[in-house]
Amino acid sequence: MSPKRSSTKRAKQAVRTVPDRPRPGDLLINDPILKTISRAAFALVLLFALLLLWRGHNAPGGGFIAGLMTVCALILHRIANGDSALRVDPVKFIPWGLALSFITGLVPYLLGRPFLKSDYGYLTTALTGEFEWATALLFDLGVYLVVVGAGLALAYALIEVKPTELVEGDG
Amino acid sequence: MTLAVLFPLLMAAVCGLLARPLGRRSGYLAALGFVPALLLAVPLAGNSVEAGGTPLAQVTNWVPELGLNFAFRGDGFSLLFAVLIGVIGALASLYSVAYLSPHERFGRFYPYLLLFGGSMLGLVLSDNLIALFGFWEMTSVTSFLLIGLWHTRSEARDGAIKAFLVSALGGLGLLAAVALLSVAGGSTLLSELDLEAVRASPLFVPALLLTLLAALTKSAQLPFHLWLPTAMEAPTPVSAFLHSATMVKAGVVLVAKFGLIFGSSPLWSGIIVPLGVATMFWGSWRALKQTDLKALLAFSTVSQLGLLMALYGLADAEGRFAATTHLLNHAAFKAALFFVVGIIDHETGTRETFRLSGLRRKLPLTFVVAGLATLSMAGLPPLGGFISKELFYEAMLHAGPGFIAVAVIGSALTLAYCARLIRIFFGDFRAPEDDGGRLLKSEIHEAGPGLLLPPALLAGAALLFGVLPASAEWLARRAGTALGFAGYEGHLELWHGVTPALLLTLLTWGLAALLVWQTARVYFLQVHLEFPVSSNRIYRGLLIGLETLASRLIAGTQGLALPDQLRITLAAAGLMGGYAVWRAPQVFQPLEGVPLSTLPIAVLLVAGALGVLLSRNRLTAVVLTGLTGFGSAVAFLAMRAPDLALTQLLIEAVTVILFLLVFRSLPGFRSLPRGRTRQIIDVGLAGAAGIGTTLLILASLRFLSPPISPYYLENAYKGGGGKNVVNVLLVDFRGWDTLGEVMVVAMVALAVGSLVRLGRRGEARSENDTAPTLPDLLDLQERRP
């Protein structure tokens, strides 16, 4: 009887609104070490993501993976600096990405070939040597945009949630 | 023809975009959208249609592998109907420019109207059964939007929902019927169905019944007539369009076209003709009771549709000829009358018959138009309606004495309600007042040309059809070949001697005179004669029943505590695994091809999973869950699937981050009070689920034969030009799947976003957004006449 009562009592003490204590997510914001590292990491990860997107057709990579990686980079930036690296609402990427993917599919259909039939060819320029272009890249770019938009929208929405109560054992 | 169908849809987008700068003038654009449909009159007038030459046909591929294409076929009947839609659609658009208030939301009205007109055109012109079903459903959806245009009024919402529920029910019937037909007939093209095979097939009767369900619901025949009167909540120009040329006639089109397939069966006419005649009687009986002009017209439409249905349902040349003639007449006078009622409403501020009288003095032109249209509706000479009524009697004479009696009574009632309609123009003029005795409009004057011209044109057509029957016959004959009455000898004439039909007409007039003479008594009888069963009551009962069932179902499945739900899921997984073992014991054979190097990874995974169980802190638990995910990524790497591993790795990273963000705002772990037995059961369930899932995966590995991967390995570079097979698979071979999955991702993001926002107090709550509750809707129906 008595331990039970004491435990509820303790829980009651623990449950309280916390305006004064920093939230767990806040702990890392403006942390100098993280901030410095994140700057380099952000650029590197972003570059690598674009590389993955670019080479996806022939080597491991692709729009989905690149999108996820970009999301990671942006979340890192957000956590380290406390603000978004993008000037636009990430949700806006979603319709553009969908439209791009859909239109890449629609174009071959309108030209009398199956919907989403991809085309490719080779181009040789002095700068790059022989290089392959594929309409699939555009489709992948659409996928990339949707994934970035969706992932960031999720993450930002959750970051902005303000915890109203904290209980012992957290953070 | 493809243009005729596409153009309104295209113009809908244009109208939607230009609605703001153009305002009500976008109505002219909308009228323009119907021009291609009007141009179909050119092939219609050509001789080939009547002589039975090859009809126009246009095919646009959609999914040819499934027999799903846009095949438009312009035979005489389809073209005739398409032109009808075009004429009335254009007139309705022009009329509404003058009719609607400048503050109307034109960004919705005209696009909806055009979408609706376009889908109706697609419906009548489509030769492909599946596309026909698609257009059919589109008319349901767009009419829902149109009826509910003034969605702030609960009557409009109620009417729209009712119309949608009833016609969607029929739509499901049509889908099934179309599937059965294409299976039995060996083609998805209506014109290429093997009729012999269909008639011999055991699917014939189900297909027939399902088609009837669709036609009867859409055309508001007797058990399903309830939605049409409430659909009058739509703006008046829409009602004119809906009641005269489109929506409600869709069922008639279906009966006319499919009558060629099913007409040979006695079941077909055995169901349609009695129902049609009964609907005609019931509609005119109810119409006589109405005091709202628009409601009167709505019930009159129910009645006239019954007549049309009965005629087409006879499935002989005579009936089809009569029906096609009446189709034209009805479209002309019903649209004209709706326009007239719109004018009266617009100029006087009311539609109640008892508030209006002597309008002839104030609105002389409207009176002429209304008079012509009403005479035609009443079936009086020398108008088109008279001729088609004569034909109707002729046809019913062959159907049987019972039908004649109901038809005569129905027609007499029709005459009586026409008298009630036209009476508002006679007598002394009294300015209409509201219930408090105040004037509704200070001054009443004739409507402008924008309002008067459309009904005047249509009333002129009604007059032309009567005075010059050859014109109507010429038009009706256009449909002859398509509907199988090309060889029919009958002609349209005002006077064709003393025939039984003429005697019936005289009898009708006598009866009608009696009804008009005894108006007060008839009205008394109508008010006090309540039928015990009304379809509105059944509809309401069904709605409540559905609600109760749904809430019980939700309470029974979703209301459980989270652990209980988990237990059910886990038990299901275990059972499935058990089933797999029971069906295929050979999965217990030792597996070859799994490298030994995966063993340490497996140990890592198990350790991570066990760690989650033992952790007493959310953070630890999340990270340990992540460990199992990362472990899987390593396993993928060991199996030489770098793409998969990379995806898994990143997904895991993002998931862990998101989890942490969520858990930040959740309370800490609380251990649930559990007894020893509960604990044992849970451990057992978890173990069973784990083993079961494993077995299931092993079983599916074994039985997926032959594997499809060699095909992709071979064709990825040839077909898609990429060396990364996985990527080529995703963007090319299974591009559709990827597109669908990306859409899912987008939806999830939007859903979670709005959920999170909902959680914040004070946001995303607006008074205007609240939907009507069920009790509200039911209450409304209670008060409906």
Q: Who has greater pLDDT, B117 or B679?
A: B117
In a domain, A40, yes or no: yes
Range B174-181 average pLDDT? 91
Is pLDDT above 50 for A18? no
Q: Spell out which residues of chain A touch residue B738, defining contact as CB-CB under 8 Å.
A: 101, 139, 143
Q: Who has greater pLDDT, B279 or B100?
A: B279
Q: Supply B453's token pair.
A: 């011209």
State pLDDT tens for residues B308-353. Answer: 888 888 888 888 888 888 888 888 888 999 999 988 888 888 888 8
Contact by Cβ (8 Å): B762, B768: no
The helices-and-strands tally (H runs, E runs) of chain B is: 36, 2
> Which sign does the torsion angle of CA B428, B433, B438, B444 carry?
negative
Q: Which of A58, A143, A170 sits opposite B742 (nearest CB)?
A: A143
What is the reported pLDDT for B771?
44
Q: How many domains does chain A have?
A: 1
- Split at pLDDT 50, 70, 90, the class of B174 is very high
Q: Does A169 sit within 8 Å of B616, measured CB to CB?
A: yes
Q: Give the chain B residue nearest A72 (alpha carbons).
A: B654
In a domain, A95, yes or no: yes
Is pLDDT above 60 for A9? no
Q: How far is B415 from chain A (nearest CA, A)?
A: 55
What is the reported pLDDT for B175?
92
Can you state the angle between helices B2-22 and B26-33, rounded to 10 degrees?
Answer: 180
Q: How far is B270 from chain A (nearest CA, A)?
A: 46
What is the reported pLDDT for A29?
61
Q: Which of A98, A142, A153 sits opposite B753 (nearest CB)?
A: A153
Is pLDDT above 80 for B602? yes
In a domain, A59, yes or no: yes
Query: Parallel, antiparallel, or unpaired: how do β-strands B56-63 and A129-134 relate?
Result: unpaired
State pLDDT tens for residues B629-670. Answer: 888 888 888 877 888 888 888 888 888 888 877 776 666 666
Burial of A64 (0-12, 13-18, 19+ CB in 10 A): buried
Q: Which residues contact B476 (CB under 8 A, 6 or more apart)?
A: B321, B324, B325, B328, B492
Range B47-68 average pLDDT? 69
Q: Spell out which residues of chain B touch residue A150, defining contact as CB-CB under 8 Å.
A: 745-746, 748-749
In a domain, A154, yes or no: yes
What is the reported pLDDT for A168?
41
Range B611-631 average pLDDT? 83
**CB neighbour burial string for B395-407, b if at least 16 within 10 angstroms, e if fewer:** bbbebeeebbebb
Range B410-434 average pLDDT? 84
What is the reported pLDDT for A119?
67
What is the reported pLDDT for A171?
40
Q: How far is B762 from chain A (nearest CA, A)?
A: 14
- Split at pLDDT 50, 70, 90, the class of B221 is confident
What is the reported pLDDT for A2?
41
Is pLDDT above 50 for A167? no
Query: A130 touching B, CB under 8 A?
Result: no
Query: A58 touching B, CB under 8 A?
Result: yes
The domain containing residue A47 runs over which residues?
Answer: 27-160
Q: Give the chain A residue nearest B741 (alpha carbons).
A: A143
Q: Spell out which residues of chain A touch residue B647, defining contact as CB-CB under 8 Å.
A: 64-65, 68
Q: Supply A167's token pair.
A: 């209980």
Q: How many CB pairs under 8 A join A and B?
A: 175
Is pLDDT above 60 for B782? no
State pLDDT tens for residues B720-768. Answer: 667 777 777 777 777 788 888 888 888 888 888 777 776 554 443 433 4
Range B75-93 average pLDDT? 88
Is pLDDT above 70 for A121? no
The dihedrals phi and psi of B107, each to the nearest 5 degrees, come to: -60, -20
Place of tokens 């597109």: B739
Is pLDDT above 60 for A166? no
- Split at pLDDT 50, 70, 90, the class of B176 is very high
ipTM for the whole complex:
0.74
Q: Give the chain A residue nearest B755 (alpha carbons).
A: A157
Q: How far is B17 from chain A (nearest CA, A)?
A: 18
What is the reported pLDDT for B752?
82
Q: Does B752 sit within 8 Å of A68, measured CB to CB?
A: no
Q: Spell out which residues of chain A touch residue B617, defining contact as CB-CB under 8 Å.
A: 169
Q: How far is A126 from chain B (nearest CA, A)?
A: 22
What is the reported pLDDT for A122?
66
- Split at pLDDT 50, 70, 90, the class of A7 is very low
Q: Give the chain B residue nearest A121 (alpha carbons).
A: B721
In a domain, A110, yes or no: yes
In a domain, A151, yes or no: yes
What is the reported pLDDT for A4?
42
Q: Does A61 sit within 8 Å of B724, measured CB to CB?
A: yes
Mean of per-residue pLDDT scores for chain B: 81
Q: Does B721 sit within 8 Å of A71, measured CB to CB?
A: no
The answer to which of B145-154, B159-168, B414-423, B754-763 has the lowest mean pLDDT is B754-763
Range A3-9 average pLDDT? 43
Model-level pTM? 0.73
Q: Supply B90's token pair.
A: 């254009």
Burial of B595 (0-12, 13-18, 19+ CB in 10 A): exposed
Contact by Cβ (8 Å): B147, B233: yes
Closest CA to B333 of B229, B234, B464, B445: B464
CA distance B367 to B347: 13
In a domain, A94, yes or no: yes
Q: Which of B668, B735, B753 sits opposite A116 (nearest CB)?
A: B735
Q: Does B731 sit within 8 Å of A140, measured CB to CB?
A: yes
The answer to which of A133-137, B271-275, B303-307 has the lowest mean pLDDT is A133-137
Q: Who has greater pLDDT, B340 or B674?
A: B340
- For an interface test with A, which of B2, B637, B650 has the most A Cβ atoms less than 10 Å from its Cβ? B650
What is the reported pLDDT for B423?
84
What is the reported pLDDT for B770?
44
Is pLDDT above 80 for B695? no
In a domain, A16, yes or no: no
- Split at pLDDT 50, 70, 90, the class of A5 is very low
Q: How far is CA B158 from CA B169, B297, B540, B623, B630, in A?
A: 17, 19, 12, 52, 54
Q: Who has greater pLDDT, B99 or B497?
A: B99
Give, in degrees to the nearest 5, the angle at Cα B763 between B762 and B764: 130
Query: A43 touching B, CB under 8 A?
Result: no
